Structure formats: structure tokens, C-alpha cells
Amino acid sequence: MKIAVSVWSCHKYLYDGSWQNADFIDYAASIGAEGVELLSVFWNTERDLPAVREALARNNVKLACFGACNDFVKESAEEREAQLDDIKLAVDMAVELGAEVVRVFAGDRKEGISFEQGKGWIVEGLTAGAAYALEKGVVLCLENHGVFAGKSEQVEEIIAAVASPALRSTFDMGNFLLVDDVPQTAFEALKPFILHVHAKDFKLVGPEVTEGVYRSLDGRPFVGSVPTEGSVDVADIVSRLAGANYGGWMSVEYEGLEEQKTGTARAVDLLRKSVEGTRV
């Protein structure tokens, strides 16, 4: 297993303009990551493509994944077409920069839109996206995220409905907690489809904590945590991945309350120790 870092771990620096993608790559290399995961939300092809290509080469770092930020739960066909365009951009950049997978979303709940209606748009959009990816030799990996595709059975259902070898799973360890799913049970369900992994953790907290709280579907309060220090049994998930001969990327996606560079660096270090522990 190879350790990468998602740019989302340090999104503060991209949003405030302190960093561009090449700066993030320099940082990721400095903390020992072997790869990076970049996102369309922070991408400008004209500016970033040459700079990122040079930064990857300079640091001997790989592009583990290019993440689309699509949401197909949109009422108009024009809006959904724009979401498909986001996936196509991600696929094109993955091809340009040597990544084999593109993280995609399904879409999330909107007021007045039923699950069944939303699912129809999701399947339609991902079917078109997967066809494009297949032509380009890239695989889309659907992240378990949100209410419409947060549980393992929802991810399975969407993958089955699309029925393409170019749609598989981005297994996000932490997100299952927010939809009251059990990460280990979800792993066993999705194991045949996992081609990309997000190393993310959340910690169950008490009512006295009010900053940065995520509420699960049943109302439990969680805050982001460095992987191995939260409520996900990361060591067990890593062991299960090793047992399944998973040889792909694990991208750290840090969402905790620590300063983002510090938390991300600790996450890479602790995840590496967990991975090394499976080799003993």
C-alpha cells in the first residue's frame, strides 16, 4: 500500500490563496508522502497543468488520484451536464498526469427531491462518466459520501446499476460513521470493488464540544481526527486491506481541528506506522 495525501487535507491554504497545487505537492513530499490527490475544485488547467507536472517530477511524487467534485442531484439537465463535464475534466487530467483513478461523488440530498429521483440522475450521470473514463483507460471510483451514497449498500447499488468496469469504489473509512454504518462491515461488502482508499477518521465527542462538529444521521457528534486517533479502527481496516492484497493508494484526508499542515503530517506518519505494522 502506498500513502498519498489529498489536497483537501490542507484546503485552507488553497482557499485563502497561500498555496497553489504545486505548493501543496512540495509540502506533501516534505512530509514523506509518495503521492498526492488533487481536486477539480482547486484546478485551473492553464495555470496548474505545467506547474503540477514539474512539481511531481521535481519531488519524485506520483498523482495517486484526480478527484472530481460532481453532484448529479440537480433538477435541470444543463446542471447535470456541467457535473459530467467536471468528471471529464478529472479524467483528462488523470490521463495527462499519469493517475489511474478518478474519485467521483454521486450527489446529495436536496429539499423536494426523493432518493429514487436523485438515484436516477446519479446513475445516468455516472453511466456517461464511466463510458468516457473507459475510453480513456481510467477508472472512476465512487466515494461513500453524503446521504444518497453514504452507506455501503447504496454504493453497491449504484455500482451495480451503472454496470461498468470503469466504476468502482473509493473506500472512505471515516465517512461511514456519519451515516451510522460500520466501517468493517462496509469494507467486507465493498471489498470486491475497492480501487482507492481515503484514510480519514472522526472521533466521537461529548456535548461540551461545539467546534467543528459533524452529526451522524442518528445525531451523534463527531469531530475530524488524525487517522488512528479517532473512532475508526484504522489498524483493523489496514489489516483487512493487506489481507485482500490491496496494493493501491491510501490518501490521507485530514479534517480535524489541528492546524492543517501539522495534522496532515502526523496523519501520514501514523498511517505509515500502521501500514508497516501489517508487514511484521
- What's the 3-state SS for the chain? CEEEEEHHHHHHHHHCCCCCHHHHHHHHHHCCCCEEEEEHHHCCHHHHHHHHHHHHHHHCCEEEEEECCCCCCCCCHHHHHHHHHHHHHHHHHHHHHCCCEEEECCCCCCCCCCHHHHHHHHHHHHHHHHHHHHHHCCEEEEECECCCECCHHHHHHHHHHHCCCCEEEEEECCHHHHHCCCHHHHHHHHHHHEEEEEECEEEECCCCCCCCEEECCCCCEEEEECCCCCCCCHHHHHHHHHHCCCCCEEEECCCECCCHHHHHHHHHHHHHHHHHHCCC
- pLDDT exceeds 90 at position 254: yes
User: What rounded mean pLDDT belongs to the chain?
Assistant: 96
pLDDT above 90 (res 277)? no
Mean pLDDT, rounded, for 137-158? 97
Record the cell numbers describing residue 209, joined without a space.
Answer: 464540544
Q: Is the pLDDT of residue 279 over 80?
A: no
pLDDT at 9 > cutoff 90: yes
Angle at the Cα of 81 from the Cα atoms of 179 and 74, rounded to 5 degrees = 40
pLDDT confidence bin for 111, thresholds 50/70/90: confident
Q: Given a cut of 90, is residue 238 above it in pLDDT? A: yes
What are the grid coordinates assigned to 6, written together? Answer: 489529498
| Mean pLDDT in residue range 40-48 | 98
List pLDDT tens digits, range 88-110: 999 999 999 999 999 999 998 89
Residues 6+ apart with CB under 8 A from 213: 205, 221, 222, 223
pLDDT tens by residue, 53-91 = 999 999 999 999 999 999 999 999 999 999 999 999 999
275 vs 265: which has the higher pLDDT: 265
Among residues of the chain, what percentage have pLDDT more than 90?
94
Superfamily of structural domain 2-278: Divalent-metal-dependent TIM barrel enzymes (3.20.20.150)
What's the CA dihedral at 222, 225, 231, 234 to 10 degrees?
Answer: 150
pLDDT score at 280: 45
Is pLDDT of 29 > 70?
A: yes
The pTM assigned to this predicted structure is 0.96
Looking at the predicted structure, is the pLDDT value of residue 278 above 90? no
Task: Give the pLDDT confidence of 113-147 residue by residue, as tens digits.
Answer: 898 999 999 999 999 999 999 999 999 999 999 99
